[in-house]
A and B are shown apart, each in its own frame.
Chain A
Amino acid sequence: MPGTRKPDVVVIGGGTAGMVVAAESTARGLGTVVLEAGAWRHPQRDFSGDEWDMLHPADGVLRWGPTDRAEPPYLRELEGLGAVFQAAGVGGTGNMGWGASPRGMVRSFERGWPFGYRHLIEWYERIEEALPVRIPEALAPKDEAFLEGCRRLGLDHLLGPDTDKIGWRFQPNAILPLTAAATPTFPEADGCTACGGCISGCRQPENAPLERTAMRNGATSFAPGAYATGLLDLRTDCQVVGIVAEPTSEGLHRVRAVRYRTQDGKVIEQDGERFVLTAGAIESPRIYLASGLPDNGWVGRGLTTHALDLVAGVLPEEVDPSVGQVSMARCDFPGFGSVFSLGLTPLLAALAYGSGHGISHGHGPWATDGFVVGADLKRRMEKWRRTLFVGVSVDDEVDGSNGVRLSSGASDTAGPVPSIRYVPTDETLRRRDWLARRASEILVEAGADPASVHRFDLLGLGLHLHGTLRMGGEGNGVVSAEGRFHSTTNLYCADASILPTSLGGADPALTVQACASMISERIAATLD
């Protein structure tokens, strides 16, 4: 029974990666404790469908903070970033994602990784089946328009899951396929209802059980199975504040326990055999650093974010930018990154217009760029139904000066808050500019009036966060190819922190979960 003996595995964070570790560990018969800072919410009961209520960084349901929304959110200091998106609760940021689940680009594994792309394929396939990941069979108007632009540019249609050359493809998606039902209610509807609300927390179809909720993530695909084994002890509202370790005779550290803080302020120690950090690329290094464990110079360093950007153009016909899965089509440019169709509701579109750089950074095929407010914002929003939005995700360079460290001044209930820096390198900005040009060309070929094409030039958007506890050798990495910290005998990391590159610009969730699956097997092998 959970809680009656020392657990085999203690998982710190029940998000995208943590629930994979929990599912894999319990499936192997290992007693597993998951310590999650937020709640385990059920979409039908706890997701309101109101974007603002769900997403607001101060008191939204999916914010990074205590479950009690009257309490303030957890703090962070930002340099070079306008916002960082983290979510507390089982499923983590997977609850506010858009389901895009491509594999990492083949070329991105050729630098910095301790193994190649082919090594990870069996783990990719395992997660693709478990989530599951599906290729859209029917597209929404926005995605049809995007692909029409790609076709007219003469770009190739890529088939299969490997991304090793330039071309467009249907977006591999961890969202169940569109349902053919005339009503949005389960069981008549069984799959995605095309409501476009993915980012605000999917609760479609109405009345669906967790196992048939359209959005697949740690909470919907992995938590129920792990719980059903009877070996999972999932503790919510438990924020880990430190790791307790003792030196070994080999000059390493052996972790004895983790300390966590409950909602009523009690600090409790949890012992275990193996400990796995899966709190994400900001919290995992924060917890490690706050615990005073050894730093080889790379702990917290090397943050990548994909330097996300956005380009939009107005088409002659309506494309209903909120209808459909958020992104159902993409075009990859190995060496530079990706561009993809992106569905935005009026709120998200208007916020994006107000999130551009105030000062223009250059010229291109776009007619306008940067910050838009005032009467211009209203005029653009009046054309929202005819606006096609194209996202830009950059294969951004690793720079050791970007990352997470502990604030020297600010602290909250968990101790010193993370201070996060991300300033793109010149090469990253060059790639970003190059991709924005390709996005502009796709828009014009799709029928957009060239005079309407607008590059947002977003001020640092921390939506994809990775690379702060890099996998690699002892000289250039923090954890080994098995996910174990070089400095310890029994502490592992299995979240986005370990990615040594930004995957060529591909969305990270699938690769993170594939790595978590692989690391879970390695951990289990040490307990045989």
Chain B
Amino acid sequence: MSSTSERSDALRALAAAVVPGLAEDATPGAEDIGAEVFIGHYLPEPDLGGLELDPKPADSDLSEAAASPDVVQRLARRVDCCPGLRHATLLAIAAVYSSWSGTDGRGNLVGDPLGWSLAGYDGPARGRGPLGA
């Protein structure tokens, strides 16, 4: 059983690899929004299939390094046969691209979620007129 600290480091490293901050435009990534808390909430004892990721401090240049093709390839080789790794990966993605990343501690939406900004999404279309007319 890994310690809380080791588990948090592993989840932070995984989050940085799955949805990294991009060094060139300083866009934050999963690591920067505390995605490991989110992953830990839904997957408290993740089995990462023996994947070793070097924990990195929250620095966008290093996050980019964590998401190097080599790390991604290691993830890809293991993800089909390790459900825990797949689930943790999808949770890291959801931590950025769901509205969760724009909410406060009570779940209230307080700003544009990070993933919406990254994708240029304005939120659900509301009250549109007839389309294609």
Residues of A within 8 A of B (CB): 49-53, 56, 58, 78, 82, 137-141, 144, 178-185, 189, 193-197, 320, 322-324, 345-347, 349-351, 353-355, 357-359, 370-371, 373-378, 381-382, 384-385, 459
Task: Tell me if B62 is interfacial: C-beta within 8 Å of chain A.
Answer: no
Residues of B within 8 A of A (CB): 17-20, 22, 27, 29, 42, 64, 67, 71-72, 75-80, 83, 86, 89-90, 93-94, 96-100, 107, 109, 115-116, 118-121, 124-133
Which residues of A lie under 8 Å from residue B119 when comparing CB positions? 346, 349-350, 381-382, 384-385
Which residues of B lie under 8 Å from residue A376 when comparing CB positions? 72
Which residues of B lie under 8 Å from residue A56 when comparing CB positions? 42
Which residues of B lie under 8 Å from residue A138 when comparing CB positions? 130-133
* Inter-chain contact B86/A182, CB cutoff 8 Å: no
A195 partner, pick from B67, B72, B125, beta carbons under 8 A: B125
CB of A198, distance to nearest CB on chain B (Å): 11
In the assembled complex, the Cα of A178 lies from the Cα of B93 at a distance in Å of 31
B124 partner, pick from A144, A179, A197, beta carbons under 8 A: A197
Complex A-B: 24 CB contacts under 8 Å:
A49-B124, A140-B131, A141-B132, A178-B128, A178-B131, A194-B125, A195-B124, A322-B125, A346-B116, A347-B98, A350-B93, A351-B97, A370-B76, A371-B75, A371-B76, A373-B67, A373-B89, A374-B17, A374-B18, A374-B19, A375-B22, A376-B72, A377-B18, A378-B27
* Inter-chain contact B97/A346, CB cutoff 8 Å: yes
- Which of A193, A350, A355 gathers most chain B CB within 10 Å? A350
Which residues of B lie under 8 Å from residue A51 when comparing CB positions? 98-99
B115 partner, pick from A58, A140, A350, beta carbons under 8 A: A350
Given contacts A180-B129, A323-B131, A359-B77, contact A385 B107 (CB under 8 A): no
In the assembled complex, the Cα of A320 lies from the Cα of B121 at a distance in Å of 9
- Shortest Cβ-Cβ A-B pairs, 7 listed: A184-B127, A358-B76, A374-B67, A52-B98, A346-B119, A195-B124, A384-B119
* Inter-chain contact B130/A374, CB cutoff 8 Å: no
Given contacts A359-B80, A374-B67, contact A381 B128 (CB under 8 A): no
A354 partner, pick from B22, B93, B98, B133, beta carbons under 8 A: B93
CB of B126, distance to nearest CB on chain A (Å): 5
In the assembled complex, the Cα of A181 lies from the Cα of B97 at a distance in Å of 30
CB of A395, distance to nearest CB on chain B (Å): 25
* Inter-chain contact A378/B118, CB cutoff 8 Å: yes
CB of B77, distance to nearest CB on chain A (Å): 6
Given A347-B94, A351-B90, A374-B17, 12 more pairs with CB closer than 8 A: A138-B131, A179-B127, A197-B124, A351-B97, A354-B90, A359-B80, A371-B75, A373-B17, A377-B19, A378-B22, A381-B97, A382-B120
In the assembled complex, the Cα of A138 lies from the Cα of B119 at a distance in Å of 26
Which residues of A lie under 8 Å from residue B126 when comparing CB positions? 184, 193, 195
CB of B57, distance to nearest CB on chain A (Å): 18
Which residues of B lie under 8 Å from residue A371 when comparing CB positions? 75-76, 79
Which residues of B lie under 8 Å from residue A355 when comparing CB positions? 86, 90
In the assembled complex, the Cα of A183 lies from the Cα of B29 at a distance in Å of 35
Number of cross-chain contacts by CB at 8 Å = 156
In the assembled complex, the Cα of A492 lies from the Cα of B116 at a distance in Å of 47
Which residues of B lie under 8 Å from residue A385 when comparing CB positions? 119-121
Which residues of A lie under 8 Å from residue B120 when comparing CB positions? 382, 384-385
Which residues of A lie under 8 Å from residue B29 when comparing CB positions? 378
Which residues of A lie under 8 Å from residue B118 when comparing CB positions? 346, 378, 381-382
CB of A30, distance to nearest CB on chain B (Å): 41
In the assembled complex, the Cα of A137 lies from the Cα of B130 at a distance in Å of 9
- Which of A345, A353, A370 gathers most chain B CB within 10 Å? A345
CB of B29, distance to nearest CB on chain A (Å): 8
* Inter-chain contact B42/A351, CB cutoff 8 Å: no
In the assembled complex, the Cα of A133 lies from the Cα of B29 at a distance in Å of 42
Given contacts A139-B131, A375-B64, contact A358 B93 (CB under 8 A): no
* Inter-chain contact B121/A373, CB cutoff 8 Å: no
Which residues of A lie under 8 Å from residue B132 when comparing CB positions? 138-141, 144
CB of B38, distance to nearest CB on chain A (Å): 10
In the assembled complex, the Cα of A371 lies from the Cα of B75 at a distance in Å of 9
Which residues of B lie under 8 Å from residue A350 when comparing CB positions? 93-94, 96-97, 115, 119
Which residues of A lie under 8 Å from residue B64 when comparing CB positions? 375
Which residues of A lie under 8 Å from residue B94 when comparing CB positions? 52, 347, 350-351
Which residues of A lie under 8 Å from residue B79 when comparing CB positions? 358, 371
Which residues of B lie under 8 Å from residue A370 when comparing CB positions? 76
* Inter-chain contact A377/B42, CB cutoff 8 Å: no
In the assembled complex, the Cα of A78 lies from the Cα of B81 at a distance in Å of 12
CB of A490, distance to nearest CB on chain B (Å): 41
Which residues of A lie under 8 Å from residue B96 when comparing CB positions? 350
The chain B residue sitting closest to A318, CB to CB, is B120
* Inter-chain contact B128/A358, CB cutoff 8 Å: no
In the assembled complex, the Cα of A351 lies from the Cα of B119 at a distance in Å of 13
The chain A residue sitting closest to B116, CB to CB, is A346
Given contacts A51-B99, A138-B130, contact A354 B72 (CB under 8 A): no
Given contacts A323-B125, A347-B94, A385-B120, contact A373 B131 (CB under 8 A): no
In the assembled complex, the Cα of A366 lies from the Cα of B83 at a distance in Å of 27
* Inter-chain contact A82/B86, CB cutoff 8 Å: yes
* Inter-chain contact A196/B125, CB cutoff 8 Å: yes
* Inter-chain contact B125/A345, CB cutoff 8 Å: no
Which residues of B lie under 8 Å from residue A178 when comparing CB positions? 128, 130-131
